[in-house]
Amino acid sequence: TNDLLLKSIEASKHYPINFTELEAAAKQALEPGPFGYIRSSAGGEETYRKNTDSFYKYSIIPRFLTDVSTLNTEVTILGHTYPHPLFIAPVGVNKIAHEDGELAVSKAAAKLEFPYIQSTVSSYSIEEIAAETKGSSKWFQLYWSSQQKEVSFSMVRRAEAAGYKAIVLTVDTTMLGWREEDIRNQYSPLKRGFGQGNYVSDPVFMSALNDHSQETIVHKIIENIYHPTLNWTNISELREHTTLPILIKGILHPEDAKLAVEKGIDGIIVSNHGGRQLDGVIASIDALPAVVQAVNGRIPILFDSGIRRGSDAVKALALGATAVCIGRPVIWGLASGGQEGVERVLENFLQETRVSISLSGARNLEEVQNLQLFKD
């Protein structure tokens, strides 16, 4: 561990280390429109602040004299074993942060063995990403198309054909959240054509268009992403169109978690979309314990929204998350240094997580789950 730590310190010499520094570097690299789109969240950003502040309420009570000279961070989720419980959260329109967009992020993820969850609205297609990251673990995040279900099914088929291991259906985006920064900046990445790569590669999406003008494509994508009619019946329909496991992203209420289990959903992601949808909603980490209790070990529970460093990951795992997903820190790494910038962020996350687990006295994830937390 010490060797790896020293290597990580050396490699990071020219890069920002923590979230605040990463965000500052990204601000230098980006125009106000894209920077504001990635940084900001909904309404008065109350939930955005709570997402990180709430981590301070939970403190790790470490055990000592446990011989922490070895550490195994392997986790098995839905039949696949991953080397560490750290995933890349699905984030769309990555070209607004860097020309290499999702290709840079997925390649960095493959190199450091972080499972990559690709967004429906990727600037690059499923096939382009799969070709560049052969053999690495990838999941596909789906935005349900209320207007054109066949497009959803087509996306899922493509992900399956490309060897992706699971479908993550995001359910908290029935409509776009109230995002004041974007209104102020008059900025929409979709209207500027950034999230198109994966849609324009879809034969079903393209064949349904009247014409292939930029305006028509953008209009149709926006219509496809938001899905006010989404309900549990759609989940059954989706199930008929894929043999892959289905996870639901955006669960906060324990009753929804129970329903997910009852409806045969394979896993959930506790998330409030980084505070970008409903402002005033519960901090993701505060929602986790009740969901864990409701699920009672029946399906895996991933977690995101507010993870900024390794010790946050350890707290979420100790509260019962099976794995955590990293969102904005990865995109700030991308904005400030392309693929290499992402690699530095992931490497640092990995090292800090490992050190934090060992210093807590745990030697594997089961022991992390059994750690005691003090709650203020």
3-state secondary structure of 66: coil
Amino acid code (one letter) for 250: G
The mark string for 27-46 relative to ligand FNR (x by CB under 6 A, - otherwise) is -----------x--------
The structure tokens listed for 163 are 């060897």
159: amino acid identity, one letter: A
| φ, ψ (nearest 5 deg) of residue 193 | 85, 20
Give the residue with the Cβ less far from ligand FNR, 133 or 170. 170
Q: 326: which 2 tokens?
A: 């990293």
Show which residues are catalytic: 273
Of 178-237, binders to ligand FNR (CB under 6 A) are none
**Choices 207-215, 234-242, 271-279, 336-344; region in contact with ligand FNR by CB under 6 A:** 271-279
- Which range touches ligand FNR (CB under 6 A), out of 213-221, 269-277, 295-303, 346-354? 269-277
Q: How many residues bind ligand FNR (CB under 6 A)?
A: 21
CA atoms of 3 and 342, how far apart (whole Å): 21
309 carries a ligand binding annotation: no
Does residue 333 belong to the site contacting ligand FNR (CB under 6 A)?
no
DSSP reduced 3-state for 278 = coil
Helices vs strands, H then E, count in the chain: 17, 12
Taking phi first (over 0 means left), then psi (-120 to 50 degrees means alpha), and beta for anything else, what does residue 338 get? left
**Segment interacting with ligand FNR, rule: CB under 6 A, options 8-16, 87-95, 144-152, 201-209:** 87-95
By beta-carbon proximity to ligand FNR, the closer residue of 245 and 306 is 306
x/- contact string, 299-328, with ligand FNR (CB under 6 A)?
-----xxxx-------------------xx
CA 36/CA 229 separation, integer angstroms:
29
Residues pairing with 303 in the sheet: 270, 324
Q: Determine whether the annotation assigns residue 90 to a binding site.
A: yes
Q: Is 92 in the site for ligand FNR (CB under 6 A)?
A: yes
Residue 92 labelled as part of a binding site: yes
115 binds ligand FNR (CB under 6 A): no
* Sole binder of ligand FNR in the list 271, 322, 348, 353 (CB under 6 A): 271
Region at 245 (left for phi over 0; alpha for psi -120 to 50; beta for the rest): beta
62 annotated binding-site participant: no
To the question of whether residue 80 is assigned a binding role by annotation, the answer is no
Let me know the angle formed at the C-alpha of 123 by 117 and 125, rounded to the nearest 5 degrees.
65
Instruction: Flag whether 304 is marked binding.
Output: yes
Q: Is 170 in the site for ligand FNR (CB under 6 A)?
A: yes
Query: How many residues are recorded in the chain?
Result: 376
E strand or H helix that includes residue 58:
strand 58-61
Where along the sequence are the contacts to ligand FNR (CB under 6 A)?
Answer: 38, 51, 89-92, 119, 121, 141, 170, 249, 271, 273-274, 276, 304-307, 327-328
Binding-site positions for glyoxylate read: 37, 143, 179, 273, 276
